[in-house]
Amino acid sequence: MKKEIFKNILKDLATLGQLAPYLRPLRNDFVVAALSMGVVAAISSASMGLIKFLVDQIFIDNDRQMLVDLTWIVPVLFLFKSIFSYLLNYLMSKIGHAVARSIRSELVEKILLQDHEFHSKIMGADLLARATNDVAAVLNMISNVPLFVMRDGMTVIFLLGLIFYLNAKFALAIFAAIPIFVVLFIGFNASLRRVTTRAQNLVGQIYSSIAEALGGLSIIKIYLYERPWIERFNRQNEDHYKAMVKFQRLGAMSPSLMEFLSGIVMTLVLFWGGSEVIRGSWSAGDFMAFLGAAFASYQPIKHLAQVNSIVQMGIAGWNRIAEIKDAPLVISSAVNSRSTDALDFHKDIELRDVGFVYPDGRRALKSINLKINKGEILGIAGPSGSGKSTLVNLLVRFYDPAAGTILIDGQDISYWDTAKLRRLFAFVTQESFLFNDTIAANIAVGRPSATLAEIEAAAKAANAMEFIERLPEGLRTMAGERGLSFSAGQRQRLGIARAVLKNPQILILDEATSNLDPESEDYVLSALVNLLKNKTAIVISHRAKTLESADRIIVVENGEIVEEIRPRSSRLTVLR
């Protein structure tokens, strides 16, 4: 048991050591904060020492000069204490927020750089919980733990020094209770570790459930699923409540027990010391100063007892952050990736015996052999779940194939730099995603340096200016969250404008017209004609009308190419 406790303490120290790189740039602020802690602790202790002079020289010896001296000494001491307390609290808060900023930036960057396989395993809302709730737990630990450990620790040391100076015999009596405090601290540590980890994980589940409900709100309402969903959420919420209550109970129990034991020790000192004063073997001033210093140590000792719960919550948060921060990138540029500044597509795209299996074990593609020539428009048809979208996701390395090779101009794409590879492509998907920014910024996602004139030209080519010109602020109109203030057809035209502006060498249309009414489909198809000019394109669709411009069409079923047909063939009507 003792060995396990020792291992856990070492493990906690090692975990805290992982935060050192974030603190290193802030060392100057930390040094000033540490010096401020020392000054605050020294003044807090010195103010207790003044009790001796107050009682012995003023109340008993009637020393008026001492009274006059104290009237300026006390305000000066408290002025200095308030200045350094302000400096201390400000700097520790600044340090904590600076570390939280760095961790959050690094974490979000890692989340965005991760591949689709990673995101298929971890819910987006859980990642949000790690970037907010878990970072807040680390912030709380960094801002408060040094404050409690150093400031309150130094205060206790100074007060104990004063206590020893006043009466070493009574000081040793107080020291006898310290081993009991240590045992209590260690005893609560293991329980807090388990509870904090569970509580942090449950927060992630709650975030995920709320995000799920907001994303599926229409389904919840049309199927009258509100009550069953709320009941399921309430069970999760109750589990989190119980975990947090248990955490607070354990966190509050340690300082409360320590305070109770301190009260017993102080009662013994009060009786024993009071007897000494009555017998005349100890001055009243020394006794009152001793008692004041001992009582003054209550609050910092109480803070020190609370440190463990803050540390355990911070460590649990950091461990969840580190799981994401240290996760390897499955899709990354090879060490020997081609180093040319830009890629050019000259000849063809080829898939050789390509197979793919999803992380959950589902087979999506098997032995796909396909060649797409430059300038060709390839249509892909087939039932839902047949592997059409998976095929194009492999081309841009959202995933890597489980078997086989994908080549562009005879070069294995796994040896290309992923960013340079993806510059060849543009996607127009089933539902164009819009960011909460201006329409112009949304169109310029692929080319942030584009001029307003270039953005407007792209919007015209996509037949989007027809509705943009009717908006109060035109291209400067905010799209709002996910662009839901626009119709599906309008969002698709903005997505096409985005692709037009990027001017890719290879275009992928993945069910770009499947959610549109006939009028919107006509607008979008007209825009697609402009987009497909002089492009190599892959068009995925269930609709024959969308596939009419294809040079050839392959039909995919159960992860295999089962047929190849021509657009003017009578077989095309089957795809409707």
Q: Which residue has better confidence, 273 or 316?
A: 316
Alpha-carbon span 302 to 309, nearest angstrom = 12
Q: Does 261 score more than 50 pLDDT? A: yes
Write down the pLDDT at residue 252: 67
What does the pLDDT average to over 105-124?
78
Alpha-carbon span 455 to 572, nearest angstrom = 36
Residue appearing with tokens 């998976």: 390
pLDDT band at 576; cut points 50, 70, 90: very low
Closest by CA position to 327, among listed 41, 536, 482, 121: 121
Q: Does 569 score more than 50 pLDDT? A: no
Structure tokens at 479: 């799209």
Q: Which of 197-206, 338-347, 443-452 shows the highest mean pLDDT?
A: 443-452
Alpha-carbon span 128 to 204, nearest angstrom = 8
Write down the pLDDT at residue 432: 79
User: pLDDT digits over 77-111, tens only?
Assistant: 778 888 888 888 888 888 888 888 888 888 888 88
Q: Does 227 score more than 50 pLDDT? A: yes
- Between vectors from CA 406 to CA 400 and to CA 410, what angle results, nearest 5°? 145
70, 54 Cβ separation under 8 angstroms: yes
Q: Which residue has better confidence, 574 or 49?
A: 49
pLDDT band at 535; cut points 50, 70, 90: confident
199, 247 Cβ separation under 8 angstroms: yes
pLDDT band at 59; cut points 50, 70, 90: low
Phi, then psi, of 538 in degrees rounded to 5: -120, 120
CA atoms within 13 A on the CB side of 224: 0
Q: Which residue has better confidence, 61 or 79?
A: 79
Closest by CA position to 141, among listed 205, 88, 96: 96
- Between vectors from CA 477 to CA 472 and to CA 478, what angle results, nearest 5°? 140
Residue appearing with tokens 């406790």: 5
Write down the pLDDT at residue 219: 65
Q: Does 294 score more than 80 pLDDT? A: no
pLDDT band at 121; cut points 50, 70, 90: confident
Write down the pLDDT at residue 206: 78
Alpha-carbon span 451 to 457, nearest angstrom = 10
- E strand or H helix at 539: strand 536-540
User: pLDDT digits over 431-442, tens only?
Assistant: 778 888 888 988
Q: How many CB atoms lie under 10 A from the CB of residue 272?
A: 13
User: pLDDT digits over 1-51, tens only?
Assistant: 456 555 666 776 777 788 888 888 888 988 898 888 888 888 877 776 666
Closest by CA position to 390, among listed 361, 418, 357: 357
Closest by CA position to 563, among listed 390, 389, 380: 380
What does the pLDDT average to over 207-236?
74
Write down the pLDDT at residue 110: 84
Burial class (CB in 10 A: 0-12, 13-18, 19+), 12: middle
Residues constituting the chain: 576
Alpha-carbon span 554 to 379, nearest angstrom = 6
User: pLDDT digits over 147-177, tens only?
Assistant: 777 777 777 787 777 777 777 777 776 666 6
User: pLDDT digits over 369-397, tens only?
Assistant: 999 998 888 988 888 888 888 888 899 88
3-class secondary structure, 252: helix
175 secondary structure, DSSP code: H
**HEC per residue, 86-101:** HHHHHHHHHHHHHHHH
- Between vectors from CA 259 to CA 254 and to CA 261, what angle results, nearest 5°? 95
Q: Does 273 score more than 80 pLDDT? A: no
**HEC per residue, 12-40:** HHHHHHCCHHHHHHHHHHHHHHHHHHHHH
Write down the pLDDT at residue 570: 41
* Sign of CA pseudo-dihedral 292, 295, 301, 303: negative
502 secondary structure, DSSP code: H
What does the pLDDT average to over 55-65?
61
196, 247 Cβ separation under 8 angstroms: yes
Q: How far from 62 is each of 49, 55, 288, 484, CA to CA, in Å?
A: 18, 9, 17, 81
240, 203 Cβ separation under 8 angstroms: yes
Structure tokens at 41: 């602790």
414 secondary structure, DSSP code: G
Write down the pLDDT at residue 69: 66
- Between vectors from CA 572 to CA 565 and to CA 515, what angle results, nearest 5°? 120
Residues 6+ apart with CB under 8 A from 390: 356, 364, 365, 399
Residues 6+ apart with CB under 8 A from 388: 380, 381, 382, 510, 540, 556
